[in-house]
């Protein structure tokens, strides 16, 4: 049995242990509350601000027709030269205009490029001491009058990119669509074309690994990849060198040419797509379809969901007077201020815009899934039949340039997507400026002079296109924000 002295010693030791444990707990708690001293050292790095490099634009080149000889059915031949207008301007207001340098790419797929010309490469160097790149704009135009190819085609001269969506064309009977791939870089571009249609994605042998040599253009017949498509959409993906991609479509109705146009890339996939300056030159018929789909005399919007989930799309059309326009989604359905359509994934779908009166319109599409879109509208007049393709465009965030290629009745179509009214001023290289005030969310038009160059100021969130219309001639091209050229880079040396 333990003695009283042993019990006392054990109690003392237990009490001491408890006190030590309590002190340790308090110390740990204090360490959690009181910040410990730290030693931090940022990794060595240097912020490098590159000098803006030269800007480049590529014009797609002359209109093309395929050989009538069945043994060379995919051989392309130009039908005359295209006219171009181009210019550049320093970013500061009041600065001088700059004339870009111009050279031609090689066009080995065009048998008449030596006579009619080839895609044109425009270069604008950064001026000495400048910290920002100049504004650049260029466009080309051509009116064809051949037996199998007739109409007006105007196109923007575009930057080369690694990813583009061409929302238009057809390889159905009487339709010809050519994909134009121009590589202005100094390295080979390897291009993959993904083609969608009314039955979904097309497995097209020969659509991948297309080599576009430096400083040259390849011409790819869409019918050679995907024949008998009514509603194609082409995704262009480039590796190595970047390419400027466009699509030429032409129509022959029986033995009569039904028009030609060149379509540039639409805005990339997004839940909201907008089209500025849809031109309707003739009263659109009320009947929306015929035996082959959308009737040729009906304006329409083509939509594709690139993802795997069906989309619900709300489509609205607004006139330049600001009025919501009644449209029909199907024959016999009452017109409404907008129409809701279900678009299945991977399927190119045309939505008719029946009953539109002559005029200029803006189109807005809101979707619960990312989509790409473009529109089409016909024209009939004394010059014959024609049509125009209208790509959806992104927002212009500041001043921009317009270079107006020759053609009938050019006009600048503006959509002010901001929340305040904007007064736009188009200042030409020579002559007095022209102005228009566009309400928030509204649209407006400025008349332009052919072959002129303008600097447009006053807007901060703007959609813009240049449209042409004459007696049976119609065409349009969108204006796009220039890509970033010289963002600062944080460099961490090893």
Output the pLDDT for position 334.
Answer: 44
| pTM, to two decimals | 0.86
Question: Two tokens at 256?
Answer: 């009569």
| Residue 363 CA, distance from chain mean position | 15
Residue 426's beta-bridge partner residues? 434, 456
CA distance 11 to 17: 10
Scan for tokens 């929302």, then name that residue.
167
CA distance 377 to 358: 11
**Strand order from edge to edge, sheet including 474-478:** 443-447, 411-416, 462-469, 474-478
**How many CA atoms, within 13 angstroms, populate the side-chain half-sphere of residue 364?**
16
Name the residue among 100, 127, 144, 142 with its Cα closest to residue 453. Answer: 100
CA distance 14 to 327: 90
Domain at 268-479, CATH class: mainly beta
Output the pLDDT for position 355.
Answer: 86
Q: What are phi and psi of 43, to 5 degrees?
A: -65, 145
CA distance 26 to 14: 18
Query: Is-contact 61 157, C-beta < 8 A?
Result: no
Output the pLDDT for position 383.
Answer: 82
pLDDT tens sequence for the chain (494 residues): 455 555 444 455 555 555 545 555 555 555 555 555 665 666 666 666 666 668 899 999 999 998 755 445 567 999 999 999 999 988 765 668 888 999 999 999 999 999 999 999 999 987 665 567 788 999 999 999 988 899 999 999 999 999 999 999 999 999 999 999 999 999 999 999 999 999 999 998 999 999 999 999 999 999 999 999 999 999 999 999 999 999 999 999 888 999 999 999 999 999 999 999 999 998 877 766 655 567 778 999 999 999 999 999 999 999 987 777 766 655 444 445 678 999 999 999 999 998 899 999 999 999 999 999 999 999 999 888 999 999 999 999 999 999 999 999 999 999 999 999 999 999 999 999 999 999 999 999 999 999 999 999 999 999 999 999 998 999 999 999 887 655 566 676 65
Widest CA span of the chain, in angstroms? Answer: 127
Cβ burial of 377 (10 Å; 0-12, 13-18, 19+) is: buried
CA distance 74 to 227: 12
Q: Is the dihedral of CA 98, 422, 449, 262 positive or negative?
A: positive
Output the pLDDT for position 50.
Answer: 62
CA distance 287 to 52: 53
Three-state secondary structure string covering the chain = CCCHHHHHHHHHHHHHHHHHHHHHHHHHHHHHHCCCCCCCCCCCCEEECCCCCCEEEEECCCCEEECCCHHHCCCEEECCCCEEEEEEECCCCCCCEECCEEEECECCCECCHHHHCCCEEEEECCCCCCCCCCEEEEEEEEEEECCCCEEEEEEECECCECEEEECCCCCCCCEEEEEEEEECCCCCEEEEEEEEECCEEECCCCCCCEEECCCEEEEEEHHHHCCCCCCCEEEEEEEECCEEEEEEEEEEECCEEEEEEEECCECCCEEEEEEEEEEECCCCCCCCEECCEECCCCCEEEEEECCCCCEEEEEEEEECCCCECCECCCCCCCCECEEEEEECECECEEEECCCCCCEEEEEEEEEEEEEEEEEEEEEEECCEEEEEEEECCCCECCCEEEECCCCCCCEEEEEECCCCCEEEEEEECCCCCEEEEECCCCEEEEECCCCCEEEEECCCCEEEEEEEECCCCEEEEECCCCCCCCCCEEECCC
| Residue 53 CA, distance from chain mean position | 23
């Amino acid at each position: 049995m333990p003695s009283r002295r042993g019990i006392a010693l054990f109690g003392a030791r237990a009490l001491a242990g408890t006190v030590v444990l309590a002190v340790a707990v308090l110390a740990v708690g204090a360490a959690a509350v009181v910040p410990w001293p730290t030693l931090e050292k940022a990794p060595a790095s240097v912020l490098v601000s590159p000098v803006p490099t030269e800007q480049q634009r590529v014009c797609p080149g002359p209109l093309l027709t395929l050989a009538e000889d069945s043994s060379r059915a995919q051989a392309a031949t130009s039908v005359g030269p295209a006219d171009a207008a181009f210019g550049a301007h320093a970013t500061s207001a009041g600065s001088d205009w700059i004339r870009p340098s111009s050279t031609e790419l090689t066009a080995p797929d065009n048998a008449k490029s030596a006579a009619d010309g080839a895609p044109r490469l425009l270069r604008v160097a950064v001026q000495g001491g400048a910290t920002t790149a100049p504004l650049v704009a260029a466009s080309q135009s051509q009116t064809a009058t051949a037996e199998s190819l007739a109409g007006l085609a105007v196109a923007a001269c575009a930057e080369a990119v690694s990813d583009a969506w061409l929302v238009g064309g057809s390889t159905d009977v009487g339709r010809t669509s050519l994909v134009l791939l121009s590589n202005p870089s100094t390295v080979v571009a390897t291009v993959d074309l993904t083609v969608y249609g009314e039955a979904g994605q097309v497995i097209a042998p020969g659509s991948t690994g297309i080599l576009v040599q430096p400083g040259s253009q390849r011409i790819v017949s869409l019918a050679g990849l995907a024949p008998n498509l009514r509603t194609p959409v082409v995704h262009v993906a480039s590796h190595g060198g970047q390419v400027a991609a466009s699509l030429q479509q032409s129509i022959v109705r029986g033995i009569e040419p039904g028009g030609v146009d060149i379509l540039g890339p639409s805005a990339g996939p997004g839940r909201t797509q907008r089209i500025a300056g849809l031109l309707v030159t003739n009263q659109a018929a009320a009947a929306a379809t015929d035996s082959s789909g959308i009737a040729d005399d009906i304006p329409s919007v083509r939509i594709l969901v690139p993802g795997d989930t069906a989309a619900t799309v709300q489509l609205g059309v607004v006139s330049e007077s600001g009025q919501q326009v009644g449209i029909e989604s199907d024959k016999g359905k009452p017109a409404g201020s907008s129409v809701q359509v279900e678009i299945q994934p991977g399927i190119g779908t045309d939505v008719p815009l029946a009953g539109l009166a002559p005029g200029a319109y803006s189109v807005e599409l809101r979707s619960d899934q990312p989509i790409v879109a473009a529109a089409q509208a016909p024209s009939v007049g004394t010059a014959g039949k024609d049509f125009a393709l209208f790509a959806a465009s992104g927002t212009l965030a500041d001043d921009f340039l317009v270079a107006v290629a020759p053609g009938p009745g050019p006009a600048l179509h503006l959509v002010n997507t901001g929340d305040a009214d904007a007064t736009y001023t188009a200042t030409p290289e020579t002559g007095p400026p022209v102005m228009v005030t566009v309400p928030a969310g509204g649209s407006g038009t400025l008349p332009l002079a052919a072959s002129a160059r303008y600097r447009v100021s006053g807007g901060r969130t703007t959609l813009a296109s240049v449209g042409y219309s004459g007696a049976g001639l119609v065409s349009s091209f969108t204006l796009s924000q220039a890509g970033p050229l010289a963002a600062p880079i944080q460099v961490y040396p090893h």
